[in-house]
Copies of this chain bind each other. A is one copy, B any other.
């Protein structure tokens, strides 16, 4: 049996906050604690805030290229400027959508730069963490420091998908677990070899956690309890298909 606990009532996160510490203290307030085998799932938004990855659009000067793209996509030119600064490549641009490949290698709309939930002023945006694996690692090490428990940590963001409607939560940073479960070479129930199956369990854990996070309800953290994972030095980059093996870039 798997259990997913929402971590409610975290304070508004600001630059410099120690998220691991805040999680442990909130759990304590609820009579809960981090247990061995738990997996901590943290939404990108609060990580970016704690890391100061917010930009006020007031100070952003769009380049001529950004102005052009903004016209074509009907977006705020300053938003487009920030998207381009965070991207390596434009993957698609159509029907008002701007899909890029971020500097990390994620393919997503607007380079993951979100205009909601960022503050009362309404003109600031959050950027994805510079190094989401490192962000995951520092939440993990802070929790270990607080509790003595070394638990895998996943940083997530909601991305759209090709071919399907709606966003789902994906793992963008991972620390302390292998994000892919590899069934290749293992036997199925009829003793036939399972040929090609690799399951992106870090993405599935992210999606599972989102079910209790609930975008508008101030639940940016969830604890997954009871999942038997493989420990290891995994990274979110293992989930990114290299361009030369990708049929859709």
Contact = CB atoms under 8 A, between A and B. Distances in A.
Interface of A: 1-6, 92, 94-95, 97, 99, 106-107, 115-120, 122, 158, 161-170, 179-181, 183, 186-190, 192-195, 197-201, 203-205, 207-208, 210-212, 215-216, 218, 224, 227, 238-241, 245-249
Contact of A1 (B6, B94, B239): B6
- Number of this chain's copies in the assembly equals 2
Given A116-B194, A216-B189, A245-B95, A240 B163 contact: yes
Contacts of A189: 117, 216, 218
A135 to B, nearest CB: 19
A203 B168 contact: yes
A162 B207 contact: no
A218 to B, nearest CB: 5
Given A1-B212, A207-B207, A247 B194 contact: no
Given A3-B3, A247-B97, A247-B99, A197 B162 contact: no
B170 A197 contact: no
A241 B227 CA distance: 32
Nearest to A115: B195
Contacts of A3: 1-4
Contacts of A249: 162-163
28 contacts: A1-B6, A1-B212, A3-B3, A4-B208, A92-B248, A94-B247, A95-B245, A116-B193, A116-B194, A117-B190, A117-B194, A122-B192, A158-B197, A161-B200, A163-B240, A163-B241, A163-B249, A165-B239, A166-B179, A166-B181, A168-B199, A169-B204, A187-B216, A194-B215, A199-B210, A207-B208, A211-B227, A248-B248
A240 to B, nearest CB: 7
Q: Which 6 pairs, one residue from A and one from B, show the smallest C-beta to C-beta distance?
A: A166-B200, A208-B208, A162-B248, A207-B207, A204-B207, A107-B163
